[in-house]
Amino acid sequence: MKYTVKCPCCGAVNTGLDLLETNGTMECIYCGKKIVGLLLSVPKKLPLRPGRPMTVRRMKR
């Protein structure tokens, strides 16, 4: 998953970053500073079925 992140030091936008691979660490391509801890939790992917609404199934008792 690729991310677009704005550098907190210089304000430049860095695109195409793979924060999952680097554990949330980024090095800005404009100012060269290394920023740690951008990704606090791994986002979960929800199952997507196009054209069908998501339904909740209840357990039978």
> Do 42 and 57 form a contact (C-beta atoms < 8 A)?
no
Provide the domain count of the chain.
Answer: 1
Could you list the pLDDT tens digit for every one of the 61 residues in the chain?
A: 788 888 888 989 998 888 888 888 889 989 999 988 776 554 555 555 566 565 666 666 6
Q: Residue 7 — left, alpha, or beta (φ > 0 → left; ψ -120 to 50 → alpha)?
A: beta
Range of the domain at 28: 3-35
pTM over 0.95: no
Distance CA 15, CA 19 (A): 11
Which token pair is 43? 């986002």
